[in-house]
């Protein structure tokens, strides 16, 4: 179980199998020449794959149902407890549609953390969370993880709100080894799900050989090749 990055094994890190489909999709996301319509369509597919992957790590309870064919009892499972999706604004909002398509009527929260381009440090602005967030399992959504500063800030706000560390599932698309190390050394009880582990960071702390600014490319604003 878990995944090894740069010689360190992280039991709570789960990297999606590098299937032909996922590799094709990630290639489109990384290509700076991808047309925006194709890029957004592909991003939605990857986000859906990753949300479904992350849902596998929610706890379940046994349940008995009556089958439709012969009215016989059958053993199964159902998700244990309530969930909430929390997006790290703005890129994390791109994953909300995928979560809604998998979980009907799911509650959503938002945490606004912005990177200071001069210092590469995160700056917290606001958190809008359900009043009962402490009673829920949280899918924390942020497609890009560079240094991990924004994610660490968001996790800190969830913990302040009473969420148990072990009830947080971080849903991600591309993560740099530096960010993975920072996140899981500080919060070893969270579950971390990603589609790809990047090579590392540039001198300006951007993810190397990656998709660029996910939020900019998804929402059609300034396209910086981060």
Catalytic: which of 48, 100, 107, 115? 115
Please choose, from the candidates 112, 109, 146, the residue with its C-alpha nearest in 3D space to the C-alpha of residue 224: 146
Is the backbone of residue 125 left (phi > 0), alpha (psi -120 to 50) or beta?
Answer: alpha
Query: Cα separations (Å) of 22 from 25, 42, 139?
Result: 5, 10, 21
Cβ atoms 159, 165 nearer than 8 A = yes
Active-site residue identified among 9, 119, 202, 221: 119
Instruction: Give the 3-state secondary structure of residue 189.
Output: coil
Known catalytic membership, residue 115: yes
Catalytic residue among 31, 44, 107, 216: 216
E strand spans, 80-194: 82-89, 107-115, 122-128, 136-141, 144-145, 168-171, 174-175, 191-194
- Which of 151, 122, 145, 138 has its CA nearest to residue 194? 145
Do residues 159 and 184 lie in contact, with contact meaning Cβ atoms separated by under 8 Å? no
Catalytic residue among 90, 191, 194, 213: 213
How far, in Å, CA of 171 to CA of 178, rounded? Answer: 17
Whether 216 sits among the annotated catalytic residues: the reply is yes
Active site residue 132: no
Q: Which residues are marked as active site?
A: 115, 119, 213, 216
């Amino acid at each position: 179980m878990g995944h090894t990055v740069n010689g360190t094994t992280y039991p709570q890190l789960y990297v999606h199998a590098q299937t032909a489909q996922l590799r094709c999709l990630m290639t489109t996301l990384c290509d700076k020449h991808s047309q925006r319509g194709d890029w957004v369509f592909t991003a939605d597919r990857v986000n859906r794959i990753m949300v479904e992957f992350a849902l596998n790590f929610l706890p379940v309870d046994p349940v008995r149902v009556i089958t439709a064919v012969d009215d016989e009892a059958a053993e199964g499972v159902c998700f244990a407890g309530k969930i909430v999706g929390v997006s790290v604004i703005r890129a994390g909002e791109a994953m909300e549609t995928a979560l809604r398509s998998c979980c009907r009527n799911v509650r959503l929260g938002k945490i606004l953390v912005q990177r200071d381009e001069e210092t590469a440090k995160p700056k917290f602005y606001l958190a809008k969370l359900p009043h009962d967030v402490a009673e829920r399992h949280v899918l924390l959504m942020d497609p890009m993880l560079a240094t991990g500063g924004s994610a660490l800030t968001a996790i800190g706000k969830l913990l302040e709100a009473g969420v148990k560390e072990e009830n947080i599932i971080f849903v991600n698309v591309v993560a740099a080894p530096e960010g993975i190390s920072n996140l899981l050394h500080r919060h070893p009880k969270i579950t971390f799900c990603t589609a790809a582990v990047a090579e590392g960071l540039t001198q300006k702390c951007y993810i190397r050989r990656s998709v660029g600014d996910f939020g900019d490319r998804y929402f059609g604003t300034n396209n910086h090749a981060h």
